[in-house]
Structure 1
Amino acid sequence: MSQAAAGGNMLFSRMSLQDGCRDKQGLLSTIMTYYSHTEYQPTREQVERNRFVFFGLIRCRPWMVVPAGILIQFCYGSVYAWSIFNGPINQLMSADPSKGSAEVTFYIALGVLGLTGAVCGPWIEMNHPRKSGIIGLVVFFAGHLTSALAVHVRMMSLLYFGYGLVAGIGLGIGYVSTIDAVSKWWPRARGTASGCAVMGFGGGSLAFSALNKWLLDHTDLPLAFLILGSLNFAIMLVSVQFISPPPPGHNPDGVVVVDEGDRWQHTQPNALHAVAEKPSVGGGGALQVALAPRRQTLSVSLAEALRSRDYWLLYVAFLSNIVFCLVVLSNLPRLIDNLFGMGRKDPREPPMPAYIAVSIEGAFNMLGRVLVGVLSDALGRKAVFLLLLAVQMVVLVFVPVAIRADNFWAFLGLIWAATVCYGGGFGMIPAFLAEMFGVNNTSSCHGILLTAWSLASIGGGLAFTGIVNRFLAHGGHAYDERIYTVNLAWMLALVIVGFVCCLFVRASIRDRMFPALPNQILRLRVFGRVLRVLAVRNDHSRGSGGAPPTGGCRLRMRVIELEYLTRAEEQAAWEEYLALRAVQHRLMSEHTQC
């Protein structure tokens, strides 16, 4: 090869490498830009149009979005009644019905739901909720049509694609957009509003369990999917016409740091409206602190929120709260049959038909979403979330006891108690995120958090099924209680981890911003007050007769001290910190002007 040709090849390789780096950098920049702009900014004309709903014929009122959101979530909640289809689909399409191939469809759908929420969260936030709502319901309907075709031609892979992937994408878009749109209309009662909206999702299991059973008794599987898809499509298409975003200024512009009733407002009635750039919230970044006369807020970027350790601690706590019931939701009929019904060693009719138990479970799921949302408004998000995890720990300890005692009603009662906690976590989490990171980041943070739903449904479901299949492959029986004891043991360990993580979540922006001392090791809020753990240096001298050391040795030791601040001490330290931030901002402004 000539030198010119070799040089040309080297130049071409260098140019290709540079182009590849630029392409990679451009892709990364595009992703960062996409996750940096998460605010819906309508024009004046769009704001005027948003004041009317239902094709511009009715003036929008805040209460209208609640029943509309409930109906939309009710239709999406039909996914929770999937377990009614497992048996008939396995009998029709699986070579070995005992392997539970149809159950995988449920895991895929919820897994795709979470991933879709994470990917589409910023886009949902930046657009009108009716736009994303319509796209979600159309895709969900397409998933039902594909599922009808799949069971007609008896292709399990097509069913996974249709209901698992396609309908799962529709679920992710519609779920996030509807709940966040409803909660934004009620800034003073976000937990109640989001709980009411998510209540519909739990109610879907209650109603569609009975409807699915009726359809299976009176028609075949393909027609059942067509009827379900068409019914959901019609209800959601009408309901989404009542979904509209609130007007600008309806929500606080950021995270509320000091509310109207706080003593700061009384001691500083004419507080300077200032902007202090780059205070640290769990790892630095660009923030804005607004010291307003009536309401003090702090604007957190999405990047800040996602870098915060508190977000990921909450992620683990949320994941821990939903694994157990997700597995039970998709396997409850089989559990009842194997432990208390015809699948037992001594077959018998269960005290309650499985489909009725699933329907009642849906009722508790629905009740938990509203009840826990209301409680979180009154008692605080973190305290209620810790209570949910504590109840789940108790349930997981006593479920094996109920199985060994062959006590059907104790077993069901424990399952229903855990279901209240499961639904409650979904009901309060949008409000929790809005208060921690701001309403403009809710859809994005909520969408990414729902990937925990994906991990729980896919990972938890496959782990449960894998343990069951392993026992069966080694000569075990489906009624063997050891199968369920092993599964419940790893679930209990996960819930304990989630409880510990939730303890360390700094739920309020004040806790995340509270000034740390140089010798501080840890800071927690215990019973509403700040507890600091400090490593204080203490010099111990050793000389002859205890005299001051002339030739003796000096020992430097660190002593652990606990400092439990009173509310007055905490408030004084907080006000001093805010005053320092205001002074820093003023000095920076003067320096910039000079």
Structure 2
Amino acid sequence: MNGNGSIADDSMLFSRISQQGERRDKRGILDLIMDYYSHTEYQPTQEQINKDRFVFFGFIRCQPWMSIPAGILIQFCYGSVYAWSIFNGPINKAISGDDSHGNAEITFYIALGVLGITAAIFGPWIETNHPRKSGIIGLLVFYSGHLTSALAVSVRMISLLYFGYGFIAGIGLGIGYVSTIDAVSKWWPRARGTAAGIAVMGFGGGSLAFGAINRWLIDHTTLPLTFFILGSINFIVMLISIQFISPPPPGHNPDGVPIMESTEHHQHKQPAIAAIGALELEKGTQGTRPAAAIAAEQPTLHVSLGEALRSRDYWLLYVAFLANIVFSLVIISNLPRIIHNMFGMGRSVPQQPPIPAYIAVSIEGGFNMLGRVLTGMVSDLLGRKTTFMLLLTIQIIAISFVSVAIHADSFWGFLSLVWLATVCYGGGFGMIPAFLSDMFGTNNTSSCHGILLTAWSLASIVGGLVFTGILNHFLSHGSHAWEPHIYTANFMWMLVVVVVGFVCCLFVRASIRDRLFPALPNQILRLRIFGRVFRVLCLRHAPPVEVPPGRCKRHRKFMEFEYLTRAEEQKAWDEYLALRAVQHRLMKEPNDC
């Protein structure tokens, strides 16, 4: 009996040791993940810094402007994914024998879905490594996806096509897209929106050119050879262009006044202004004033990646970004089908549309490209949040009237509204790297950008499946493909998503002032609308208003609304910075008591 008891005790002991080991393993894996997402700064050696002074295998001295055309060409090749809708009909016909029945369009959804997930996973790795290294890996994987796609079409395996172009090429897209855009934007700290917009312009331009290129290759060669030629051309162009991509030297990116977490008060999460030279109190006729800090209207906020991802502002921007892209993303992959069913040979009375579908896709790519560069420039002038809210407002208007255009059988009205929304779609991608850099610092841009691109995946996969599901629901219940209501139902849920995104964007605290301004004791809401602060105060707990004798009793106000002038806001901000400067000095000075 004692022997059995010891055996039981030993068994329990081994079980406890095993469980503790499993806990340590789990904790170790979690620690590794947290460590991976906590260190997001590229720290080159002096030897690497000297090498980066030259590009193109060390033969040409590096100049900041070189990153722009190189980034455009690389993004142009990656942007060929936007012209995928040209392949849907030919691939369906090659695999199933009917160009209108098949699932080739799912490949597009998988590719963009994998793109976002890859960007989120590899974001910290991209940030901590040389952009040329990650760029070469991205283009190699992207080329492998094209070769696998050629094999898939040859053997007529749709699952292999999903794996080749959807999964493998999607990984290459995720790595190459983020590494190129962020490397280019870091060269231009005072015009990040313009620099990123110009670079991302190439991605939108890819569909403009490849819509016609894909059609020509399909008509003059076989589908497998088309994928091989496209992949080879992209590989050569990107391999040459990536040689001109190099990170800026250390010290190139400081822009504005850095705001960091004080190590002494980290447990209390009290932000301290780090740049002491910018916070010295200026003594003069105008009184005490933090000179350089007040002069910097938009100082850059440097926080850790963990703090950025825990911020409600990040996730509000995430929802706003998703809302900005969902409509155009679904339309891009379905535009040929809509034109065919509503305005072409698939309608109840067949007719030729005014322009072929592939030309409409190419023109849409042009508006996509225009939106990327134009919005980036506008955001440098008007501010990121104001520009983003403008994009969402335009989309709300466009989606509201697109159903009207379809019911009115207005081909050009429909396309005009779709192209207008596409400008906003591209604009979101053009300014989002600069938006993130302004809000969370240049050292977190790639990581924050990568995780934000999962919204691209979500909008692509979920949006595409919901669109197709609603369409198939109506078709299975007796509706015809040329009836407008099967598309109107889809436009309605997209409109709701964009409205929600607009509301979320309204609550994003995009500037240093909005994020650091302490709330008043009775404040319940504060927003920045058209550059001015609007706040709502609750007076429920305010002291009662005394009524002089002989006067009627007044009803007490419970709410008060304030719309501060710029002068009032500036005065409050100056007082706040002066107070923080005093606190910072007291924290630094030794205690004499």
Corresponding residue SS for 1:525: strand
**Contact between 2:40 and 2:124, CA under 8 Å: does it hold in 1?**
yes
Alpha-carbon displacement from aligned partner over 1:544-578 (angstroms, at most 9, x marks no partner): x999xxxxxx9997721123333333223223322
Q: What is the CA distance between 1:75 and its match in structure 2?
A: 0.2
**Alignment gaps of 5+ in structure 2:** 279-291
Q: What is the CA distance between 1:580 and its match in structure 2?
A: 2.7
Mapped pair 1:437 → 2:440: yes
Q: Give the equivalent residue in structure 1 for 2:318.
A: 315
Alpha-carbon displacement from aligned partner over 1:328-380 (angstroms, at most 9, x marks no partner): 11111111000001111111111111111111111111111111111111111
Amino acid at match of 1:523: R
Q: Which moved more, 1:237-246 or 1:294-303?
A: 294-303
Q: What is the CA distance between 1:480 and its match in structure 2?
A: 1.3
Alpha-carbon displacement from aligned partner over 1:444-465 (angstroms, at most 9, x marks no partner): 1110110000000000000000
Q: Which residue of 22, 28, 31 maps to 1:29?
A: 31
**Contact between 2:141 and 2:172, CA under 8 Å: does it hold in 1?**
yes
**Contact between 1:254 and 1:300, CA under 8 Å: does it hold in 2?**
no
Q: What is the CA distance between 1:32 and its match in structure 2?
A: 1.0
Q: What is the CA distance between 1:527 and its match in structure 2?
A: 3.0
Rounded Cα–Cα distance in structure 2 between residues aligned with 1:279 and 1:202: 46
Rounded Cα–Cα distance in structure 2 between residues aligned with 1:494 and 1:336: 24
Alpha-carbon displacement from aligned partner over 1:117-161 (angstroms, at most 9, x marks no partner): 111111111011000000000000010111111111111111111
**Contact between 1:275 and 1:290, CA under 8 Å: does it hold in 2?**
no
Q: Give the equivalent residue in structure 1 for 2:505.
A: 502
Corresponding residue SS for 1:41: coil
Rounded Cα–Cα distance in structure 2 between residues aligned with 1:439 and 1:541: 50
Q: Give the equivalent residue in structure 1 for 2:213.
A: 211
Rounded Cα–Cα distance in structure 2 between residues aligned with 1:56 and 1:481: 59
Q: Give the equivalent residue in structure 1 for 2:158.
A: 156
Q: Give the equivalent residue in structure 2 for 1:587.
A: 586
TM-score (norm 1): 0.91
Q: Give the equivalent residue in structure 2 for 1:267.
A: none
Rounded Cα–Cα distance in structure 1 between residues aligned with 2:361 and 2:198: 21
Q: Which residue of 457, 463, 467 maps to 2:466?
A: 463
Q: What is the CA distance between 1:166 and its match in structure 2?
A: 0.4
Corresponding residue SS for 2:560: strand
Change beyond 3 A, Cα 1:143–1:593: farther
Q: Give the equivalent residue in structure 2 for 1:289.
A: 274
Q: Give the equivalent residue in structure 2 for 1:450.
A: 453
Amino acid at match of 1:446: H
Amino acid at match of 2:207: S
Q: What is the CA distance between 1:256 and its match in structure 2?
A: 5.7
Corresponding residue SS for 1:249: coil
Corresponding residue SS for 1:2: helix
Rounded Cα–Cα distance in structure 2 between residues aligned with 1:278 and 1:416: 53
Q: Which residue of 327, 330, 334 maps to 2:333?
A: 330
Q: What is the CA distance between 1:584 and its match in structure 2?
A: 2.8
Rounded Cα–Cα distance in structure 2 between residues aligned with 1:571 and 1:183: 30
Q: Which residue of 528, 532, 537 maps to 2:535?
A: 532
Amino acid at match of 2:67: V
**Contact between 1:288 and 1:299, CA under 8 Å: does it hold in 2?**
no
Amino acid at match of 2:219: D
Mapped pair 1:573 → 2:575: no
Mapped pair 1:230 → 2:215: no
Amino acid at match of 1:573: A
Alpha-carbon displacement from aligned partner over 1:154-178 (angstroms, at most 9, x marks no partner): 1111111110010000000000000
Change beyond 3 A, Cα 1:502–1:463: same
Amino acid at match of 1:170: G
Corresponding residue SS for 1:441: helix
Change beyond 3 A, Cα 1:393–1:46: same
**Contact between 1:215 and 1:224, CA under 8 Å: does it hold in 2?**
yes
Alpha-carbon displacement from aligned partner over 1:483-516 (angstroms, at most 9, x marks no partner): 1010000000111111111111111122100121
Mapped pair 1:346 → 2:345: no
**Contact between 1:276 and 1:581, CA under 8 Å: does it hold in 2?**
no
Amino acid at match of 2:275: A
Q: Give the equivalent residue in structure 2 for 1:13.
A: 15
**Contact between 2:273 and 2:584, CA under 8 Å: does it hold in 1?**
no
Rounded Cα–Cα distance in structure 1 between residues aligned with 2:55 and 2:223: 37
Corresponding residue SS for 1:252: coil
Q: Give the equivalent residue in structure 2 for 1:562.
A: 561
Q: Give the equivalent residue in structure 2 for 1:52.
A: 54
Q: Give the equivalent residue in structure 2 for 1:249.
A: 251
Q: Give the equivalent residue in structure 2 for 1:262.
A: none
Q: Give the equivalent residue in structure 2 for 1:132.
A: 134
Mapped pair 1:39 → 2:24: no
Q: What is the CA distance between 1:308 and its match in structure 2?
A: 1.1
Change beyond 3 A, Cα 1:9–1:243: same
Rounded Cα–Cα distance in structure 2 between residues aligned with 1:279 and 1:79: 48
Change beyond 3 A, Cα 1:83–1:473: same
Alpha-carbon displacement from aligned partner over 1:49-103 (angstroms, at most 9, x marks no partner): 1111000110110100000000000000000000000001111113775454001
Amino acid at match of 2:454: T
Mapped pair 1:424 → 2:427: yes
Percent identity over the alignment is 71
Amino acid at match of 1:290: A
**Contact between 2:545 and 2:556, CA under 8 Å: does it hold in 1?**
no
Q: Which residue of 83, 86, 111 maps to 1:84?
A: 86
Q: What is the CA distance between 1:236 and its match in structure 2?
A: 0.2
Alpha-carbon displacement from aligned partner over 1:249-286 (angstroms, at most 9, x marks no partner): 111168667xxxxxxxxxxxxxxxx98458899x9477
Change beyond 3 A, Cα 1:337–1:59: same
Amino acid at match of 1:565: L
Q: Give the equivalent residue in structure 2 for 1:522.
A: 525
**Contact between 2:301 and 2:440, CA under 8 Å: does it hold in 1?**
no
Change beyond 3 A, Cα 1:287–1:582: closer
**Contact between 2:300 and 2:512, CA under 8 Å: does it hold in 1?**
no
Alpha-carbon displacement from aligned partner over 1:210-256 (angstroms, at most 9, x marks no partner): 11001100111111111111100000000000000001111116866
Change beyond 3 A, Cα 1:166–1:587: same
Q: Which residue of 399, 402, 414 maps to 1:411?
A: 414
Q: Give the equivalent residue in structure 1 for 2:95.
A: 93
**Contact between 2:373 and 2:430, CA under 8 Å: does it hold in 1?**
yes
**Contact between 2:89 and 2:100, CA under 8 Å: does it hold in 1?**
no
Change beyond 3 A, Cα 1:182–1:502: same
Rounded Cα–Cα distance in structure 2 between residues aligned with 1:542 and 1:573: 29
Q: What is the CA distance between 1:288 and its match in structure 2?
A: 5.6
Rounded Cα–Cα distance in structure 1 between residues aligned with 2:68 and 2:351: 45
Alpha-carbon displacement from aligned partner over 1:293-352 (angstroms, at most 9, x marks no partner): 356654211111111111111111110010111111111111100000111111111111
Change beyond 3 A, Cα 1:278–1:467: farther
Rounded Cα–Cα distance in structure 1 between residues aligned with 2:95 and 2:252: 52
Change beyond 3 A, Cα 1:339–1:558: same
Rounded Cα–Cα distance in structure 1 between residues aligned with 2:184 and 2:178: 10
**Contact between 2:258 and 2:275, CA under 8 Å: does it hold in 1?**
no
Rounded Cα–Cα distance in structure 2 between residues aligned with 1:99 and 1:32: 46
Corresponding residue SS for 1:342: coil
Q: Give the equivalent residue in structure 2 for 1:166.
A: 168
TM-score (norm 2): 0.91
Q: What is the CA distance between 1:531 and its match in structure 2?
A: 2.1
Amino acid at match of 1:395: A
Rounded Cα–Cα distance in structure 1 between residues aligned with 2:423 and 2:130: 32
**Contact between 2:207 and 2:365, CA under 8 Å: does it hold in 1?**
yes
Q: What is the CA distance between 1:471 and its match in structure 2?
A: 1.0
Rounded Cα–Cα distance in structure 2 between residues aligned with 1:126 and 1:254: 23
Amino acid at match of 1:560: M
Q: What is the CA distance between 1:43 and its match in structure 2?
A: 1.3
Alpha-carbon displacement from aligned partner over 1:390-436 (angstroms, at most 9, x marks no partner): 11111111111111111111111111111111111111111111111
Corresponding residue SS for 1:397: helix
Q: Which moved more, 1:309-318 or 1:287-296?
A: 287-296
